[in-house]
Structure 1
């Protein structure tokens, strides 16, 4: 998948060459005015590029069998965009569904369209009607986050195989204990540490402090000794660097490291990833008694409603709640045979006769 992000410097981007001028201006607006992160702007770029490729086919200006990268979007002007209506938006969303885009992916695409057309209508007044107005997909279906259990997490830590063991052990330890995002981990500098805290730069450039537990501090100390001995350390500020080049690790490289560690622990092929390790950290903290507001701050969530998904995955507490029932230890009662039932009925009749005599 092509991208405008510079792979060497992910905080920068290469020039936009394959999209309409109005989209370029909008992305610059997101970048310089709204101060959105490079990855957020890149997501909008990809979604809007996909939409206008679809529109070129609908307009008959591109063949449906053409390769996506062969469709020239640079000739699309403001007049073309002004002619897009609700029917086009609904058609694109239906096309996205037929292309096996899930509810979250379609919601993201609609969000990109709403942002762009809202900008065109209210910010620069290049169109008079916003075709996405009142268009909604409804709330996407919520799914429980996938995570490693405590025993699986220990299995992962105990089976790391690497030619740079201290670094990779430290990476996994921070993921499992601090609940940071992949982009947050690779951006950590040595200057972000103070005493027992680490300053993490999250989405939108927002900073938060996360306290380091003993496991994290020990892993960092062991890695620091080895890192300090690298002879070709070219990126002196970066925490996690390549053993071969001494440069800051990329997000893709960390994904590969995590995948290799999962494989050596026998946990590969189950959909685990760096982001799932973040879910794991949050889940284990919640199960350990961390309250929702504290967890929100640790994870860097904007709203506590985002954090509340972890209230649905505390299976241990649910199990303990069921076991707390006073009937939890009730054992199976064998059914009575026909003779036992008859004897029981006779006993009941005799008891009733005796009661009548007493009266």
Structure 2
């Protein structure tokens, strides 16, 4: 079905091909990574399918219709984060159409859903982290080195797989791993490699014999991809195997839990919020602030006012 735009006295038929051309032009104009362009394409296709299904004229699309669209997305069971990505795509598309004088920005002021300020993945308690490392003591050196690195530095899985052997270097007297961070093209950050962090990596690298500095820090051992860079899925699988083995089989425990574990245990150990922020390389302190909720809940349970009342009467 064609999508109709009513223009003053006449009605212009905007064919699906025309819409597709506009979407193509919008996507091609965006200075974003390929994954973001694919997300724009998928979410905008869904949006225009919705417009078509509702038999709306494009000229009828305004704030009420976009709020209706957002509400239907939320009612479909999508998470607030996912709905937010759909709404963001629509907003940016209309910003572009207005800037290029194709169509007014009718999405101005449409907000993405608010997300509860907490993290979905659960951090490990210190004894659980110890149990996880103990599990890997009898496993492959590579797997122990990876999990140990994740627990002690708070690296993201994508940052681990991007690391090369040459990224282990020194800043002054401190051994560090240069980090190719989230959404960045340069390795302009780093994590410290303490002796407990570095030693398992060194032992693993020794098993690979002579390695080129440009080789991945961690490589695959499977027949189909032996010697190649690991995938994030591989690291997620390695971490999940150990988490299951120590009884943490819930969906809230994943490889990303190890990053949260680093942050929370810095605070548990008496470290400052600033230390946690610098270790996790958060640009916004508010992101790190979320981790204090876990500690506040623990303190609430351990030092409850209700228990104090029970001691009195």
Q: TM-score surpassing 0.5? A: yes
Q: Does 1:23 align with 2:23?
A: yes
Counterpart of 1:209 (choices 190, 197, 201) is 190
Contact 1:147 1:280 (C-alpha < 8 Å) held by counterparts? yes
Aligned to 1:200: 179
State the TM-score, normalized to the length of structure 2: 0.79
Q: How far, CA to CA, are the matches of 1:310 and 1:157 in structure 2?
A: 23
- What are the ranges of 5 or more consecutive residues in structure 2 without an aligned counterpart? 1-18
| 1:1-359 → structure 2 map (5 Å cutoff) | 20-30=20-30, 34=31, 36-59=32-55, 84-122=61-99, 124-127=100-103, 129-137=104-112, 139-145=114-120, 146-160=122-136, 165-195=140-170, 196-205=175-184, 207-228=188-209, 237-244=215-222, 245-315=226-296, 318=299, 322=303, 332=311
Q: How far, CA to CA, are the matches of 1:322 and 1:271 in structure 2?
A: 26
CA deviations on 1:73-125 (whole Å, 9 max, x unpaired) are xxxxxxx8676433332222122112101223222322222222212212x23
Change in 2 beyond 3 A, CA 1:252/1:117: same
Aligned residues: 285
Q: How far, CA to CA, are the matches of 2:51 and 2:239 in structure 1?
A: 39
1:161 is displaced (CA, Å) by 8.1
Contact 2:88 2:112 (C-alpha < 8 Å) held by counterparts? no
State the TM-score, normalized to the length of structure 1: 0.69
Contact 2:81 2:113 (C-alpha < 8 Å) held by counterparts? no
Q: How far, CA to CA, are the matches of 1:322 and 1:85 in structure 2?
A: 52
Change in 2 beyond 3 A, CA 1:109/1:161: farther
- What are the ranges of 5 or more consecutive residues in structure 1 without an aligned counterpart? 1-18, 61-79, 335-359
Change in 2 beyond 3 A, CA 1:93/1:192: same
